[in-house]
Structure 1
Amino acid sequence: MNPSAISSQTLSQENEVIAMTQTIQEQAMINGGIIRPLVYFRHNIARVVGHLCFGPAFNNEAFIIGIDPLINDAISLSAFTRFSDAFPFFRSIPGLWGPYRQAFEICDRIVSMVQSEITHYQSSKSPCTTCYLHFLLSHGYPMETIIFILFETFLLTNDSTSFTIAWALAFLIRNPEIQLKLFKEVSGGDEKRERVTVDQVNKMPYLQAVVNEVLRMKPIAPLGIPHKTVKDTTLKGWKIDEGTAVMVNIYALHHDPKVWDHPEQFMLERFLNENAPMEKSLLPFGAGRRICVGRDLGKLQVGLTLANLINKFEWVATDGDGPDMTDAYTAILRMKEPLLAGIKLRTNLGTTLS
C-alpha cells in the first residue's frame, strides 16, 4: 500500500473504470436508461484489488464474480459476531449455534477460492514479484494466514469503496446543482474530457470536497474497526481492562454540532473553506498507528470512479425526490435500498438512454 505500489496501479485503475462505465452504458440502454450500478462498482473494485494482490496479469472473471457473495456472507455475520464479543455468554446458547456453523462453511469457501488463485500464481513461469501475494509468500507466513489476509483485503476494500461511491451518487442525484458544478470541474469546463485520469483527480478541489463530505455524512464503518487494549488503562476516569474490545463511534464524531455546522446537511463549503476542521475531525479511516492502511488507495478509487461517472453521465432520480438515504448497518454502513438511478449521456443531455 506504499505510494510507489499505488502509483504502479494507475493505468490499470483508469482502464478498469473506463471499461465499467461502458458496461453501465450498455446495461442502461437495455433497461430504458435505468441502472442499479452497485454490482458494477463491486466487480470493478475487485478487479483493481486483484491486480494489487496477484499482479497485473490477474484476469480471473470467475474469481471476481465468486468473491462477491463470499464478502456479502462474511459481512452479514459481522453484526452477530460483534454482539457475541460484547456478550460472550450468548455463545453457550444452543439455539444460536447456527451462525457459527455458517461461519465455518464460509471459511471453507474462502480457502477453496483463494487457495486456487495462489496455486495458479505459484505455477506461473514468471510470477509477479511486486504484488501483495509475493510479499506475503516471501515472508514465510503460514498458508492459512496468507489466504485470510488476502480475503480480508478484498473484504475491507470492496464494500467500503463501492458503497461510498453509491452514497456519493445518491447525494448528487438529490442535489443536482452540486452535480452540475462537479461536472464542470471534472469535464474541464468547455473542453470535454474523454476520461478523467488519476493525476487530474488529485487536482480537483470540488471533487475532493464531495468525497470528504460523503465520508463525513456516511462513514462506511461508523463504529470503526474494533481494537483491543494491550494492558490495563484508563480513559477519562474509566478503567479499561487488558483485552477489552474497544470501538469508536465515528458516526457521532462526524455529526457533532460542536464541530460541524448543520451536521445533517450535505454542505461542501465545510471542505472548501481553509479553516475547515477536516484534518482533526474527519476520521472515516480511523487515526493513529492503526489508521486504515488502504485509505489513500480507497479515496483515490472513489474519486477516480466518481469523476468518470459524472463526466460520462448525468445521474437523475427515477421517481420522487431521489434515492432512499436510509442506512442499513452491519459492520458497514450500507444503503437499505440499493441505488436505482436514471442516467443520460453527457453528449446528449436531453435524451435518456434507451
Structure 2
Amino acid sequence: MALLLVLASIIFIILAYKLYQRLRFKLPPGPRPWPIVGNLYDIKPVRFRCFAEWAQAYGPIISVWFGSTVNVIVSNTELAKQVLKENDQQLADRHRSRSAAKFSRDGQDLIWADYGPHYVKVRKVCTLELFSPRRLEALRPIREDEVTAMVESIFKDCTQNDGRSVVVRKYLGAVAFNNITRLAFGKRFENSEGVIDEEGQEFKAIVSNGLKLGASLAMAEHIPWLRWMFPLEEEAFAKHGARRDRLTRAIMEEHTLAREKSGGAKQHFVDALLTLQEKYDLSEDTIIGLLWDMITAGMDTTAITVEWTMAELIKNPRVQQKAQEELDRVIGFERVLTESDFSNLPYLQSVAKEGLRLHPPTPLMLPHRANANVKIGGYDIPKGSNVHVNVWAIARDPAVWKDPLEFRPERFFEEDVDMKGHDYRLLPFGAGRRVCPGAQLGINLVTSMLGHLLHHFTWTPPEGVKPEEIDMSENPGLVTYMRKPIQGVPIPRLPSQLYKRVAVDM
C-alpha cells in the first residue's frame, strides 16, 4: 500500500510539473503527450522522418515530450539560425544520458561537454592543433593509402567473381575503420589480407560493447522515476570503461616510448595530445575522451555518406557518367586521383556535397540543451529543455531548395552553398559553437573515396534490379545507415597496374 501511495505521489508530481510548464511557458505546438511517457510511444523508429511529418501538421517548430522532458525540434532554415547563431550560447550545453555521462566522465571530452571553460579549451586543441590544415596535410598519405587499399580489394573481388555484384558497405567500412585507427592511434589493426589482429579485435569489441550499453536504457533515461526498475549496470559500465582505458593507455605508452626513443613526435592524434598535454593542461580522462570522440564521430559517418551517395550514383547513371568524364579529363588513365586534384574537380566536389545534403549522416543533430530560458520562433524554450535541429528536413525543404528530392549536383554550380556551418540550408556538420571541428577531414575523405570509386570503376545495379527498385529507406538510429546495404556491379575502367595499393607506413 505504501509503495502504491509513493508511486501515485510521483505520478501526481510529474503531471503537476508538466501542467505548470504548459501554463507558465508558451511552448511550441505538437502532438498531445500521454501521462508519464509523453510521446515516446507515438514516435516512429526513424525519428527524423517522424518529426518531419509532425512538422507538416503542427509547423516548423514543435514540442515533443520524451517522458517528462520537453524536446523542441526545428525544421526550417530561419529557426535553425535562431538556434545555432542568435541563441547559440544559451543553447550550447549537452544533454547527457547516464551512459553518455559514464563514457565521457561527465563531459570531460568534447562531444558531451557543456559549454564553458573546459569546452572552450578542448575545442581550441581540436581546431588549432588536431585538425589544423598543416596536420591534415601531414596525414594525407594515410587517407590516400586506405582509399587505394579499398580500390585494390574491390578490383580483386570483381575480377574473381565474374561480374557479380558486391556489397559496397564492406569496403567502405574497412576504409573508415583503418583510417580512423591510424589517424587516432597510429595503428593499422588489419593486414593486407583483411585479417584483423588481436588488438584490433579487442578494439572492435570495445566499440560494439559501447554501442550495446548505450542503447540498453533508453526508456528509463526518459522517465526518471522508472530508473529504480532499470538500474544503471554500474559493474558493466565500470568493466567497459576499464577495458577501453586499458587498451588506450597501452597505445599511449607505446607512443610515449617511441617518442622518447626517436626524440620527436609523429602527426597522429595520440602523439599530438600527449605532446600538448602540459601546454593545455589536459587530464588523462580528457585525452582518452578526445581520442574516442574521434573514433565514434569518424568511423561510421564517412562510410554512411559514401554508401548513400554511391546508391544515388547507381540510380542516376547520368550523374555518374558526368563525374567520370571530369575525372578522365583531369586525371586521365595513367595515374590515380590524389587530394591535391580536388580543386580541379568541381563536379566531384558537388557530388559529395549533394550526397551530404540528401543523406546527412546525423540527420538530427545531437540535442542542444538550454542553459537559460530563451525564445525561438516566438515560443518559449524553458531552461533544461533539449533542442534538436532536423538537418534532414531542412535539406529537403522546397521553400529553399528547387526539386529538393532530386539528386542533382549541378545545383551547387547555380548557387554557392557553404556546408561548414555558415549557410543554414545545409548543415551536415552543424554550426555555431558546436560545429564539428573535423568537418574538413570528413569532406576530404568522402570526396577521395567517391573519386576513386568513380575513376576506377563504372557502377551498375545487380542483374535483374532496375535503378528505381533500389531500396532507399533508412535504418533507425542516431547515425543513419541504409536499411538494405547497396549492392553494385563494379566494372574496371583503368589499366590493371593502377589498382595496386602502395602501402604507406606512418
> TM range, normalised to the smaller chain?
0.7 to 0.9
Secondary structure of the equivalent of 2:372?
coil
Q: Which amino acid aligns with 1:231?
A: A
Q: How far did residue 66 of structure 1 move?
A: 4.6
Instruction: Encode CA deviations 1:275-313: one digit per residue, 9 max, x unaligned.
Output: 668634111111112111111000110001110111111
Q: Could you tell me which of 475, 478, 494 is aligned with 1:331?
A: 478
Q: How far did residue 84 of structure 1 move?
A: 5.1
Q: Which amino acid aligns with 1:91?
A: R
Partner of 2:402: 261
Is 1:342 matched with 2:471?
no
Structure-to-structure mapping, 1:30-109, within 5 angstroms = 30-33=160-163, 34-55=165-186, 58-61=187-190, 62=197, 63-64=199-200, 66-68=202-204, 70-75=206-211, 85-94=221-230, 106-109=240-243
Matched residues in 2 for 1:274 and 1:147: separation?
41
Is 1:282 matched with 2:426?
yes
Partner of 2:445: 301
Contact 2:306 2:449 in 1 (8 A): yes
Matched residues in 1 for 2:175 and 2:416: separation?
36
Structure-to-structure mapping, 1:173-322, within 5 angstroms = 173-188=314-329, 191-274=332-415, 279-318=423-462, 319-322=464-467
Q: Could you tell me which of 117, 123, 144 is aligned with 2:257?
A: 123
Distance 1:13 1:248, change over 3 A: same
Pick the structure with greater CA Rg: 2
Q: How far did residue 64 of structure 1 move?
A: 4.8
Normalised by the size of structure 1, how large is the TM-score? Answer: 0.86
Contact 2:330 2:344 in 1 (8 A): no
Aligned length: 344
Contact 1:75 1:330 in 2 (8 A): no
Secondary structure of the equivalent of 1:188?
helix
Contact 1:45 1:161 in 2 (8 A): yes
Q: How far did residue 153 of structure 1 move?
A: 0.5
Contact 1:229 1:245 in 2 (8 A): yes
Matched residues in 1 for 2:219 and 2:345: separation?
41
Distance 1:97 1:273, change over 3 A: same
Is 1:4 matched with 2:4?
no
Matched residues in 1 for 2:407 and 2:416: separation?
18
Matched residues in 1 for 2:482 and 2:152: separation?
24
Secondary structure of the equivalent of 2:380?
strand
Contact 1:43 1:64 in 2 (8 A): no
Contact 1:207 1:303 in 2 (8 A): yes
Secondary structure of the equivalent of 1:328?
coil
Partner of 1:352: none
Secondary structure of the equivalent of 1:334?
coil
Q: How far did residue 78 of structure 1 move?
A: 5.3
Matched residues in 2 for 1:83 and 1:29: separation?
49
Structure 1 unaligned blocks of 5 or more: 349-354
Partner of 1:158: 299
Distance 1:306 1:227, change over 3 A: same
Contact 1:79 1:330 in 2 (8 A): no
Matched residues in 2 for 1:23 and 1:255: separation?
35
Instruction: Encode CA deviations 1:187-222: one digit per residue, 9 max, x unaligned.
Output: 226932421110112321111111111111111101
Q: Which amino acid aligns with 1:11?
A: P
Q: How far did residue 90 of structure 1 move?
A: 4.5
Matched residues in 1 for 2:382 and 2:338: separation?
49
Contact 2:430 2:436 in 1 (8 A): yes
Measured on the aligned residues, the alpha-carbon RMSD in Å equals 2.8
Distance 1:42 1:275, change over 3 A: closer
Partner of 1:351: none
Contact 1:78 1:330 in 2 (8 A): no
Distance 1:71 1:341, change over 3 A: farther
Secondary structure of the equivalent of 2:366?
coil
Matched residues in 2 for 1:255 and 1:76: separation?
32
